[in-house]
Structure 1
Amino acid sequence: MADKKAMTVLILMTSDVHGFVLPRDYGTGEPVAKGLAKAATLIRRLRRDYPWHLTLDNGDLIQGSPLTFYHARYGGDTPHPMVACLESLSYDAAVVGNHEFNYGPGVLTKVVGEAKFPWLAANICRKGTTEPAFGAPYLLRTFPGGCRVAVLGLTTKYIPFWEHPQNIAAWDFIDPVEAARVWVPFLRGEKGADVVIVAYHGGLERDPESGEALERLTGENQAYQICTEVEGIDVLLGGHQHRGVVAEVAGVRVIQPENDARQLAKVLLTLERDRGHWRLAGKEADLLKVGDVPVDAEIERIVRPYEEKTQAWLEQPLGRVRGDMRINDPMAARLADNPYIEFVNRVQMHYSGAPISCASIFADTCPGFSAQVTMRQILANYMYPNTLRVLRVRGETIRQALEVTATFFARGSDGTPGVNPAFCRPKVQHYNYDMWEGIEYILDISRPVGSRVVLLNRGGEPLDPARLYDVVMNNYRAAGGSLYGMFSGAEVVRDIQTEVSELLTNYFLEHEWVEAACDHNWRVIGCSGEEQGRSEARAYKTDVMA
């Protein structure tokens, strides 16, 4: 036993940073407890205490904030700010996330080429091959004493259900479970890894303790399946779901941080060497909130020039609204037609030529539009780089979609409407509640799920379930992902390649005034009297102001 030694390896991981660096809200300018600049302070501090370490990003790095939107559109050949930040922090590797593809192959290729660190994705292969598209899909680090720690990168296979075909035409997305079955034994055997870490841009589809499904098992998230079906994994670093998790699944330590660098994932591996072999003796995992941690001065210096250009762009005036198009109460805005969602749907119909449209309020933080509209407000409301697609679907398909939309609501014992927990866990999905224009409908949330559509007309006549209708929606919805599989495989009548945020911008630029109005073509009933009254009062107020 004389040759026995021990060492501790620190693993640090960010995930779903989504382009947020400085801790300020882009909509209000107020300080917020998030951002890579805060996480950077923790990273540098922790690494001083542990000489043997790995620092990783788990995907969805380059999309999601006005900073990264502006750079993707107007940054030209300048280095990507997120890559520059990770380089400054000496990141060892990054995993390719689903949102890395949003700006097209040109932006992704440029970002990967700029980085000195590798991008890992074992299950994203060159089209028609089993060859990982971004090079070796693993990182193998040998620490003093010969201890070998391997990191295997995997990505959700669900990307083709969301992404534009032209953005992913060069790649195939295979099952990450199957990829892990190939690469984990390879790392253990041929590469002699003493520790294998899977960095998976995906989350837990089942409760880690009970094994009960947390969501519809579509294959979007497969972390539980990877842990239970693939032998030889010590730690799984998760992401994608935007929720903090520390758990144990089949002996695998699982950790994933919240989005926007609100948390830093920390894993401590204790290894012991006995008779020439290293053995993993302990695994500790913790999520560190950035909270009141100060901003890292070097990261702030790097990002400042990019941020100044972004802020100037966000302040550009675009147009004016006559009336009230603000969202003061997100629940009320989802219970009855309102000027904001009416406007978004009308813009989609205007540029697509489709007679029917559906759209959503993506998050409760969406402010709507004030009297003077700026680029900042456009992106605060429409933060995703979605484009539009016109599908030709039957009336029955529209009814099915509305029944899914109606499941958004859960009634309290007093009849007060709330959000169905399925739309909040394991990930907040308010963007999966659609509001429609071009049809008239009523949803009664006091009725059982599956029978809540109590009125569905077009032009005052019942919608024909067998007739074909052209409907415009964003490309994410049109792909049939998440809850809306009924749209998958529908005939595509037209693809509008301009992003919706740009279409909204263009509409304001083309019109001196935009009226805040709505036709009240839909509403939700079955609420408590008080909430129903608030909804109807809001609708009346909108009519008067319009």
Structure 2
Amino acid sequence: MKQVRIIFTSDIHGYFYPTDYLDRERKPKGLLHIAQIFHKDGNTLILDGGDTLQGSPFSYYSQMKGRPDIAAELMNQAGYDAVTIGNHDFNYGYKYLQSFLKHLNAVCVCQNCVDKKTGTSVYPWHIFRLENGIRVGVAGAVTDFVNVWEKEENLSEVQITDTFESIAKAYDEIKDKSDITICLYHGGMECDIGTGKILETSGENIGFKICRELGFDLVLTGHQHMPINGRLICGTYVVQNACNADTYHEIEVSLSDGMEIRSKMIAASEIPMQTNSLPFQNIEDEVQDWLDSVVGILPESLYPKEHLQMALEGSKLADFINQVQLEYTKAEISCTSLANKVPGLPQKVKVRDILLTYPFPNTLVVLEITGKILKAALERTAEYFSVKDGKIGISESFFKPKIEHYNFDFYRGVTYEVAYDKPKGQRISKIRINGIPIEENKKYHICMNNYRASGAGGYDMYKECRVVKQYGKDMFEILLEHISKMKNKQ
């Protein structure tokens, strides 16, 4: 019997160090913490499913300093063999991503990242031959919704082609050359993993389709941040990790007359804390000092409440962000959303508070919309609610297949009423801008982030709207500048 051991991480989002950046304390978290027990040998492959470069204060600071090599070196020290690309890895531009991959010892496999000039995959499949002679074919792919979300300039050199077609072609090419085939997929499950019930049809996640229609031995998924313990789906073994290096999977594949696969998901919190010094600790210390610098003083603290309560009653935090967006763009209306986890802003605001409260790498866009489109957008937002036994709750569609509180939008500059018990699409009425009822064909200017302006999150009505203006400055920087002007205001 021959055995292969696979270590799988995904969606690290720049959380390399043992901290959550809420404070300076070391905690059992992050890649460097979990990597101390990887224990690699000649029959072990260490793989990552993408979304490495964006998401933490450390990654933002590295980007500001133009240092993608730091993330690469940290992953080199962990011993990675192969990685794929996540949608957020394009956020700082393709040149930044290329530099990261250039410094990385691991091979990159992302079949559907295609060079626009040659029409060929920039990061094709790879076959590893281990010490015991086992051949492991690894093909990767990223959700093709990158084309929906990403700024055009960040995809100027490459095209993200159809995920399924690309990975199916790769499978056909490696299946006869490999003893074990692995799909390293930065995407998740479109179906309930227990029942197989279809939960989404957008094409953003096609994990079930890959399992059902192709013959990979393992499909290592990501993107949804939804921990999945190892299980068979249509004969293919599937796992998924939580985000921010909070978990990793250790998978054992045994080959004799057949193939047997076992795995365990290991939580970072279960691993004892290390006391030794960490690589690039001086950079991490710089980050922590920067995060602790005071930006400005607000009239009052802006802390979030429970997501449902904010959706029903409004949020001072979201209202503040909308106010900043309106002042910056001079639009008539603004909409924003809050992350799934939001610490909020204390009265004395530090850099740390802003980055953790607004973690998205967004810029602002002003769209020209009609009253009809505004109502359609408000109806989409109102789909957040469900009514059961007379009690208002949150719709299951915002929880499955992944948690999506960030797709509920808060508005400023417009008022409306919601009838929670009416069917979806018929809940919104009495829409007014500056106290005046809207007109279906009248044009209005609305400000939002570039993610929402792309139509993401079910807001397809924005896709064909005329772009009045786009702003290049990151929303974090806009908030930083705005709050810094409030330094002496109390």
TM-score (norm 2): 0.95
* Structure 1 residues 183 and 79, CA gap change in structure 2 (3 angstroms): closer
- Provide the rounded CA distance (Å) in 2 between the counterparts of 1:455 and 1:178: 46
Distance 1:423 1:42, change over 3 A: farther
Answering whether residue 440 of structure 2 is matched by residue 465 of structure 1, we say yes
8 A contact 2:211–2:236 mirrored in 1: yes
Give SS of 1:24's match: coil
Match in the other structure for 2:119:
130
Whole-Å separation in 1 of the counterparts to 2:219 and 2:291: 38
Cα distance between partner residues in 1 of 2:369 and 2:203? 25
1:405 partnered with 2:381: yes
Structure number with larger C-alpha Rg:
1
For 1:79 and 1:107, the matched residues in 2 are separated by 6
Q: Deviations over 1:204-257 (max 9, x none)?
A: 111345432122x11111111112122x31110000000111332221111111
Compared with structure 1, are the counterparts of its residues 145 and 459 closer, same or farther at alpha carbon in structure 2 (3 Å cutoff)? closer
- C-alpha separation in 1, matches of 2:334 and 2:202: 26
Q: Give the conservation status (yes or no) of the 8 Å contact 1:408–1:423.
A: yes
Find 2:220's aligned residue among 227, 237, 241: 237
Tell whether the 8 Å contact from 1:403 to 1:452 is kept in structure 2 after alignment: yes
Partner of 2:451: 476
Gaps of 5+ in 2: none
SS in structure 2 at match of 1:464: coil
Query: Does the 8 A contact of 2:114 with 2:120 survive in 1?
Result: yes
Q: Is the 8 A contact 1:208 1:248 kept in 2?
A: no
Given candidates 340, 347, 357, the residue that maps to 1:371 is: 347
SS in 1 for 2:288: helix
Q: 2: CA distance between counterparts of 1:467 and 1:158?
A: 31
* Match in the other structure for 1:348: 325
2:204 alignment counterpart: 220
Which one-letter code corresponds to 2:159 in the other structure? D
- Taking structure 1 as reference, are residues 282 and 502 closer, same or farther at Cα in structure 2, changes over 3 Å only? same
Shift of 1:476: 0.4
> 2:483 maps to what in 1?
508
Instruction: Say which of 98, 109, 126 aligns to 1:139.
Output: 126
Structure 1 residue aligned with 2:367: 391
Listed one character per residue, the Cα deviations across residues 246-274 of structure 1 (whole Å, up to 9, x for unaligned) are 332221111111111111112211112xx
8 Å Cα contact 2:35/2:78 also seen in 1: yes
Contact 2:386 2:420 in 1 (8 A): yes
Output the amino acid matched with 1:207: D
- Tell whether the 8 Å contact from 2:253 to 2:262 is kept in structure 1 after alignment: yes
Q: C-alpha displacement at 1:296, in angstroms?
A: 5.1
1:9 equivalenced with 2:4 (yes/no): yes
**Which residue type is aligned with residue 80 of structure 2?**
Y
Report the counterpart of residue 488 of structure 1 in structure 2. Answer: 463
Q: Describe the SS at the equivalent of 1:80.
A: helix
Superposed CA deviations along residues 160-191 of structure 1, whole A, max 9, x for unmatched, are 111111111111111121112211121123xx
Q: Identify which of 327, 350, 369 aligns with 2:304.
A: 327
Displacement of 1:306 = 2.0
1:154 maps to 2:141: yes
Is the counterpart of residue 85 in structure 1 residue 85 in structure 2?
no
Letter in 1 for 2:278: R
CA distance in 1, matches of 2:339, 2:193: 28
Task: Identify the residue that residue 318 of structure 1 maps to in structure 2.
Answer: 295
C-alpha contact 1:253 1:285 (8 A) present in aligned 2: no
For residue 535 of structure 1, what is the aligned residue in structure 2?
none
How far has the Cα of 1:453 moved from its partner? 1.1
C-alpha separation in 1, matches of 2:137 and 2:343:
45
Q: Structure 1 CA distance, aligned partners of 2:258 and 2:163?
A: 25
Q: How does 1:182-197 map to 2 (within 5 A)?
A: 182-189=169-176, 192-197=177-182
Structure 1 regions of 5+ residues with no counterpart?
Answer: 1-5, 273-278, 516-546
**Residue 26 in structure 1 maps to residue 26 in structure 2:** no
Which of 248, 253, 257 aligns to 2:237? It is: 253
Distance 1:430 1:460, change over 3 A: same
Q: Please give the alpha-carbon distance, in whole angstroms, between the structure 2 residues aligned to 1:239 and 1:196.
A: 17
Q: Distance in 2 between matches of 1:317 and 1:234?
A: 51
Amino acid in the other structure paired with 1:23: P
CA distance in 1, matches of 2:314, 2:132: 66
Three-state SS of the structure 1 residue aligned to 2:121 is: coil
- Counterpart of 2:182, as a letter, is I
Q: Name the CA distance, whole Å, in 1 between partners of 2:173 and 2:242.
A: 31
Alignment TM-score, normalising by the size of structure 1: 0.85
Distance in 2, Cα, partners of 1:21 & 1:235? 26
CA contact (8 A) 2:368 2:468 kept: yes
| Correspondence 1:203-214 to 2 at 5 A | 203-214=188-199
Q: Give the superposition deviation at 1:385.
A: 0.7
Match of 1:171 in 2: 158
- The verdict on how the C-alpha distance between 1:194 and 1:243 changes in structure 2, with shifts beyond 3 A counting, is same
Alpha-carbon displacement from aligned partner over 1:378-428 (angstroms, at most 9, x marks no partner): 11110011001111111111111111111112335352x432222122211
CA distance in structure 2 between the aligned counterparts of 1:81 and 1:35, rounded to whole angstroms: 15
Q: Is 1:307 equivalent to 2:296 in the alignment?
A: no
1:281 to 259, 279, 286: 259
- Alpha-carbon shift at residue 287 of structure 1 (Å): 1.5
Distance 1:171-1:514 versus aligned 2 partners, 3 A rule? farther
- Tell me if the contact between 2:28 and 2:272 (Cα under 8 Å) persists in the aligned partners: no
In the superposition, relative to structure 1, how do residues 234 and 292 fare at CA in structure 2: closer, same or farther (>3 Å)?
Answer: closer
- Decide which of 398, 403, 407 is 1:423's aligned counterpart: 398
* Residues 442, 303 of structure 1: alpha-carbon distance in 2 compared, 3 angstrom cutoff: farther
Cα 1:79–1:213 change in 2 (3 A) is: closer
Aligned residue pairs: how many?
Answer: 489
Separation of aligned partners in 1, 2:93 and 2:131? 41
Shift of residue 119, structure 1, vs aligned partner: 1.4
Percent identity between the aligned chains? 30
In the alignment, the residues of structure 2 paired with residue 106 and residue 412 of structure 1 have an alpha-carbon distance, to the nearest angstrom, of 50
Separation of aligned partners in 2, 1:200 and 1:440: 42
CA contact (8 A) 1:195 1:280 kept: no
Q: Separation in 1 of the partners of 2:275 and 2:205?
A: 36
Q: Is the 8 Å Cα contact of residues 321 and 513 (structure 1) preserved in structure 2?
A: no
SS of equivalent residue, structure 2 residue 204: coil
Question: What is residue 65 of structure 1 aligned with on the other side?
Answer: 56
SS at match of 1:291: helix
Partners in 1 of 2:478 and 2:489 — Cα distance?
14
Relative to structure 1, the CA distance from residue 214 to residue 296 in structure 2 (aligned partners, 3 Å threshold; closer, same or farther) is: farther
Q: Offset of 1:323 from its aligned partner?
A: 2.8
Please give the alpha-carbon distance, in whole angstroms, between the structure 2 residues aligned to 1:210 and 1:495: 43
Q: Deviations over 1:310-339 (max 9, x none)?
A: 111111111111134222444333222343
Aligned CA RMSD, in angstroms, stands at 2.0
In structure 1, the residue corresponding to 2:439 is in which secondary structure?
coil
Structure 1 residues 145 and 41: CA distance shift in structure 2, 3 A: closer
